[in-house]
Structure 1
Amino acid sequence: MHVNVVCYLRVSTADQESGLGTQEEVIRQKIKSVGYRHVIETFIDEEVSGDSHVEERPGFKKMLEFIRTYNKNNAGDPIREVWVQTRDRISRQVDMLGYATVILRSMGVEIRATEESQEQLVTRIYDILGEEELKKYREKRKYGIKRRIGEQKIMSRPPLGYKIENGKLIVDEEMRPKLIEIFQMFEDNATMSTISNKFGIPRSTLAYIRKNPIYKTGEYYWKGKVVYKVEPVIRPGDIQERDDDDFFS
């Protein structure tokens, strides 16, 4: 009987030797050699640091939601494993790796790495951390997040077009003209490929920019809620709305 699995790939801007193609090839070769595995889906986080919180990553969050839904609808044949090339694709921090492991285990899913056995991985995590330490870590992080929200400080890497000054988000004025041009191209219905080729920005990043309200309203969201406001990149009058009558004339 086969085991249903998903794959998780992550690259940061600093990655050179471990691109998405390399990771996927290595994972699929290992899965093939192990045998009796059926890959259901592959999830990707591009330009995401290994030090970031796993639940702040769009690809990882999408993977968790997918697994929850899939396993609920397929209780007799659920997803049981998440495959990565190496455990640092999940996180370079042992405590965050443990955090991710506990979340996945609560759904009946184990992390499998091509270059480290499951037994070694789980033993290493729990020898160092343990369940009790994970609870303490989560409480400490929860308190830290509340404090940073109260001080209107950033909780993750700044969105493209912003930078951090004294712990707070401010507009990167050097990037503002480029973002205005990008949003103008959105308004003009330019394709993601066209914009990506012009500015050298991945399409996944462009999709994130387009849907993030911070650029137009300054609203900073955390866990689906507006927690504070900053200066928006796009100001009134920066974008010329397309006149559909002129477009079709």
Structure 2
Amino acid sequence: MAQTPSRENGRGPTGEGSGKTHRVVAYLRVSTDRQAEEGLGLDIQQDYIAGYLRKHPDLKLVRVFRDGGHSGSTLDRPALRDLMLLAKEQPFTKVLVAKMDRLARDLFVQLFIEKELLVHGIEVVSVTEGFNTASPTDIAFRQLLGVFAQLERSKITERLLSGRRKKLENGGYAGGRPPTGYKVKNHELVVDEEGASIILRIRKLRMARMSFERIASRLNAEGVKTRNGARWYASGIHRLLRNPVLRGKVKYGTIRDGIHKPIE
């Protein structure tokens, strides 16, 4: 069992204010590029932490851990793994975050991380929310907020899934990358003439009893690319022709009529 550092050595949750300099690290995270653009970027988080450090001269920042493009609902994050490994050596006493959801969005993941850090006498401090994991009152209040936040995220997810199911039931396009021959316009599938001409040509070659392998070879020899700009392969052509979307259908449990035009 790990020993909790004592107040005398300037370590642990109760060490602040003892007149010693406390070594701290910062943890920054964003899930997506869009999140960074909307004001929660890594640099903004670091600015918040820098402001906090200016008000607390007894804290010395020794390292910054950055996870860019990683979900907050999982523990599988490179910088977080490095932080947790280093915590076992106890070279710092606090982990500073701009907000608690930067540590983890999922409440259970968040609590697991905090508990693991507290075993080594390390507390987590949210510099914008005023929470720290050494205060029982803060812990209880934050857990309550976390429950409601998680409930709201679950409700949003359910609404999105419900909307997607409803759209599919009505034969509409519910998202995802459309197959060759289609593009998305105003959230609906419309025929892409360039892609549709390739589909019609492949069908004509199949009607002439040409194999999928020979069709792929011909298209590649002529310099015709897939929608990804790649070479054609027999398996891809076979899969494409079997896609019910090309026939004006959608798949939701069973194959049903879609509201988009088939490629004919």
| TM-score of the aligned structures, taking structure 2 as reference length | 0.43
TM-score (normalizing by structure 1)? 0.45
